[in-house]
Amino acid sequence: MTEPVLLSSLDVTEGELRAGQDGRLTVDGPRMRAVLKGATPSSAELRFTVLGPTARQVALASGEQRQQVGLKLRALDGCNLVYVMWRIAPKPGVVVNYKRNPGQHSSRECGNGGYTTVRPARRDSVDAPAPGIPHTLRALLEGSTLRVWADGRLAWEGELPAEALAVDGPVGLRSDNVRVALQLFSPVH
């Protein structure tokens, strides 16, 4: 059983989340990162509506220009975590990667180092989430098996390597260069 996560239960580590309509939160800035305070569930669900690109677009630290929204799993800190992202542009789809930087704990220390893309055992093509329409991204980690659903359809399934599982932390969310209204759901804690 999951329940909606309140803004007061989130630690916003970059950007800004604002309380919006119907209990949803809104993101208007080019970067937002947040994690659930004090809980380490192995699943999360993000219900969101894309409102369009942000007025100001900011390249990732790698220099790549990307629009995306997604979940964090096992988010020990900004240098050690698993990402489940639904990319909008330039190439739509669901992507899973982890960031591992032993001994480093802040983005200032690790920058964009330590990213590894995880190859799925099974993947289904997923279009970019259409603006103005509600979408759902759900991730479930059971042991080392990660399953990701996009709008109720299994979009990604695979095994996370031991290196990705070596850290543990809360679930969270992330957005890049997209305005979005969202709500994070987490198992009752």
Query: Which string of b and e fits 119-148 if b means at least 16 CB within 10 Å?
Result: ebeebeebebbeeeeebbbbbbbeeeebbb
| Structural domain that includes position 23 | 2-187
The predicted model scores a pTM of 0.95
Note the pLDDT tens digit of each residue in 132-189: 999 999 999 999 999 999 999 999 999 999 999 999 999 999 999 999 999 999 986 5
Mean pLDDT of 64-80: 96
- What SS3 class is residue 66? coil
d(CA 121, CA 158): 5
Cα distance between the two ends of the chain: 10
d(CA 133, CA 8): 26
- What SS3 class is residue 123? strand
Mean pLDDT of 24-35: 96
110's enclosing H/E stretch is helix 107-110
Note the pLDDT tens digit of each residue in 114-124: 999 999 999 99
Q: Which residue has the tokens 């489940």?
A: 84
We report the CATH number of the domain holding residue 86 as 2.60.120.560
More confident residue, 41 or 32: 32
What is the layout of strands, in order, in the sheet containing 80-89?
A: 10-14, 31-36, 172-176, 67-77, 80-89, 93-99, 115-117
Q: Confidence band (pLDDT; 50, 70, 90) for 111?
A: confident
Q: What rounded mean pLDDT belongs to the chain?
A: 94
What percentage of the chain exceeds 90 in pLDDT? 86
pLDDT given at position 188 = 65
pLDDT given at position 118 = 98
Report whether pLDDT(21) > 80. Answer: no
Mean pLDDT of 64-82: 96
pLDDT given at position 157 = 98
81: CB partners within 8 A, 6+ apart:
72, 73, 74, 75, 98, 99, 167, 169, 172
pLDDT given at position 139 = 98
Question: How many separate domains does the chain show?
Answer: 1
